[in-house]
Amino acid sequence: MENLTIARPADPKAPWGSRQLEWMQKVVPLTPMKKPALVETQFFTFAKAPEDAFRLENGASFGPITLAYETYGQLSAARDNAILVFHALSGSQHAAGYNPRRPAAGHSCGAGNLWTDECHTGWWDSLVGPGKALDTRQYFIICANYFGGCYGSTGPGSIDPRSGKPYGSRFPDPTLADVVNTQTHLLDHLGIRTLLAVAGGSLGGVMAVDFAMRYPERTHALLAIGIGPRATTLHKLSNFEQICSIEWDPHFSGGDYYDAVPPTRGLMLARMISHKTFLHLHLMEERARSEIAQEDDDLNGYRLQHQIESYMLHAVKKFVTRFDANTYLRIIKIWQQFDLSARAGGNLAEALRPCRNHRILIFSIDSDVCFWPEEQAEICEALKEIDARYLHITVHSEKGHDSFLLEPELYTPNIQFLLRETHKEEKVKNAPDSDITEPATQITTPTVLEIPSRHEARAEFLKLTQLYYQREARDKTLKVPSSESRELLRWFDSNLAQRDMADIQSFLNMFQADIKEEYDDLPEAIFNRPRIPDEAKGSLHERPLRNELEKIILRHLNSLRDLQRRPGRR
């Protein structure tokens, strides 16, 4: 499969940025933000009787188990439009809408009321809702708080019915498999045998992949953003630091702190360690206020010197008011030990083989320093080895790992395409022969071009521009004006003269994907709007863009220019 890139959005402060932003607003009018819809958390309890206890991966039994979950949209009569979303490390079941009410009485929310104002708006509200990436007018979205969580699902802060006290240190350490397996019980409860798709970002994306591997018959598609095949050495060190931070807090008390002072300082330090891998440093600098704010009891003598210190302190102080240290430890331990290849003796391709027939969309974020793009590339190489149907998109963002939470415009078109085509394909499969009208589009790219020389590359470029003009005019005899051809070729040469053949071939393959007639509806589903590079050469930059062809070329030249080829960072 071809690996594609999406350019980062325009920067109004940069040269050309304001002009391009104005152009984007004309093409895609900005709609006013609407108040999120009011939603409520629901609960499902299973493994109530001893004989029905849930079997953990380590062989132990546990029960009862309550899962807090929310749903959005309507389940179709055929029950074929459901999408299961897994949240990330510190997320919850509240993926979308507005929910100001903490979980209902009888369902513990950990140490005190952790359902703060910050939790009231769904963590993925920008992608889940009417007309959004996960369109609730068409799909039924489900999101559940993990087993071991602190937002209403059974976790360390929940009441043990045998003792009447919080589980605390007696709560088990769930594994990736345990979390995934508990959610299949929820699907059974909802009467959903097979999902349209399973989705998630970060650790939630890892959960989604694990679900698709364990239960390939229970989903048709897989969407994962910013993931890896296993915990890297860097992950293990960072996670270990966080574990030590919490367990070394004198108030941790082995995890039995619910009737005393919680290990707030330890959790704050743990979040500091992880937070700087979730957001790009430039974004944190932008968020840092001009003033430095410090309470007298924040530190034991050190006075803050920089705005970025103040920002970090403020961020983690907010975090500890909405999260439980025991739950944090349980999920970090899941991260610490996960390895998607373990089920096949370390062979990642064989471990992923059950996913071979799924439609798969993998996103990388070029500025991600939590799950580096090389980690998604390794997964895609394994998918390629088993001839899976996958598409790998690299998003160019200046926000880092959390881009998938902050920049819906970079992900929405591709996600919509994945879901639409998967749904169409499954309807065709299940429809009587007389009802089949058109096949679903395959998730594939046009034939990969093999260009041996610069001369042939220039010829292929002209051929593709010719195809564009004929397609637009609906006239297969139309010729590109010679003056236009010369100008386009000068532009092609000036921008790609210093590039090696691999880069030129990558550009032509991206260009082809937009131009080929069978991909008429895909340009914006594969590539984001172009950002005009201020240092780009060529006469086209000396006048306004004249047509969609020039916008397409700019888009791919920009993607090629911004693509960073970094060595692996394990």
Q: What are phi and psi of 401, to 5 degrees?
A: -55, -40
Cα–Cα distance for residue pair 183/465, rounded to 1 Å:
50
Tell me if residue 367 is catalytic: no
Asked, as a colleague might, if the bond just before 64 is cis with ω within 30 of 0, I would say yes
Cα–Cα distance for residue pair 238/213, rounded to 1 Å:
27
Cα–Cα distance for residue pair 55/78, rounded to 1 Å:
31
Q: What are phi and psi of 110, to 5 degrees?
A: 80, -150
Tell me if residue 396 is catalytic: no
Structure tokens at 77: 């009569």
Alpha carbon 151 to its chain centroid, in Å, reads 22
Cα–Cα distance for residue pair 33/131, rounded to 1 Å:
13
Q: Which of 401, 423, 541, 556 is catalytic?
A: 401
A 10 A CB-CB count for 461 gives 24
Q: Which of 92, 126, 153, 202 is catalytic?
A: 202
C-alpha distance from residue 49 to each of 53, 62, 164, 167 (Å): 6, 10, 17, 18
SS3 387: coil
Q: Which of 249, 368, 402, 514 is catalytic?
A: 368
- Residue 69, strand partner residues: 42, 144
CA angle 462, 467, 470 (to 5 degrees): 125
426 in Cβ contact with 478 (< 8 Å): no
SS3 296: coil
Structure tokens at 474: 């609906």
Alpha carbon 548 to its chain centroid, in Å, reads 29
426 in Cβ contact with 37 (< 8 Å): no
- Residue 121, strand partner residues: 98
Tell me if residue 368 is catalytic: yes
C-alpha distance from residue 381 to each of 229, 265, 414 (Å): 11, 42, 20
Q: What are phi and psi of 5, to 5 degrees?
A: -130, 150
240: amino acid identity, one letter: F
Cα–Cα distance for residue pair 488/494, rounded to 1 Å:
10
Catalytic annotation, residues: 202, 368, 401
